[in-house]
Amino acid sequence: MKKLERFRIDEIDGVMHLASEERFIICCHGLYSSKESEKYLEIAEMASRRGISCVRFDFRGCGESGGEFSASVDERVKDLHKIMEFLDSKFEARYALLGSSLGGMVSIRYAAGKEVASIITLATPYEIEIEGRKESIAKDVKKCSRILVMHGQRDELVSIEHAINIYENAQEPKKIMLFPTDHSFSERESRSIAMAEALDWAEKYFDYAMPTI
């Protein structure tokens, strides 16, 4: 089974690359990014070849989604929750979360309150000030485990110390990997290796736990 399905939940636009009804990886993009980022297009194709479904979606106010743009982690967690509710209504599946930058913060905060199989973050801040408001996942990450933290050594926006803080405060099992690339993982070789590592990590923990939505 491998098919492409578009969906719209309220104002949230998404694409589901359906290769399995039991194993999913959910992609959460960064602040001003979208579901069309090369990272997510690449991992969707790679996941399909492994028999893993991939969901790409735009947070409200981003990409093809309607609604008001928000830089709030809590507001974006609400969007992710709607996606997870939609999937849970259709499938009895296990979910891995892949979040980049602000999307990594969203993934960690969501996972702190809901059961997911695993978490993968890229270029994710431990804390940050956005539009005059401080956002921090310091409390959330302490509740998370089965987390893979990936970061670019040439990240021009978020220093490596953020990745180290996330890693050190998360629960076991956990892993950290550094790559010779920038914040967006725009260097092709590093991006491809990172996406393969993300899928390896997701596959390792798909049988660990069922989500509770």
Q: What is the pLDDT of residues 76-113, one digit of tens each?
A: 999 999 999 999 999 999 999 999 999 999 999 999 99
What is the rounded average pLDDT of the residues 103-127? Answer: 97
Secondary structure (3-state) at 10: coil
Structural domain including 21 reads 3-205
The neighbouring-strand residues paired with 4 are 17
Residue 210 pLDDT exceeds 60: no
What percentage of the chain has pLDDT greater than the value 70? 97
Residue 210 placed within a domain:
no
Domain count, the chain: 1
The predicted pLDDT at position 207 comes to 83
Residue 168 placed within a domain:
yes
Residue 38 placed within a domain:
yes
CATH value at residue 198: 3.40.50.1820
The predicted pLDDT at position 213 comes to 40
Residue 109 placed within a domain:
yes
Residue 146 placed within a domain:
yes
Residue 212 placed within a domain:
no
What percentage of the chain has pLDDT greater than the value 90? 94
**How many Å apart are CA 109 and CA 147, to the nearest integer?**
13
The predicted pLDDT at position 131 comes to 85
Find the largest Cα–Cα distance for the chain.
46
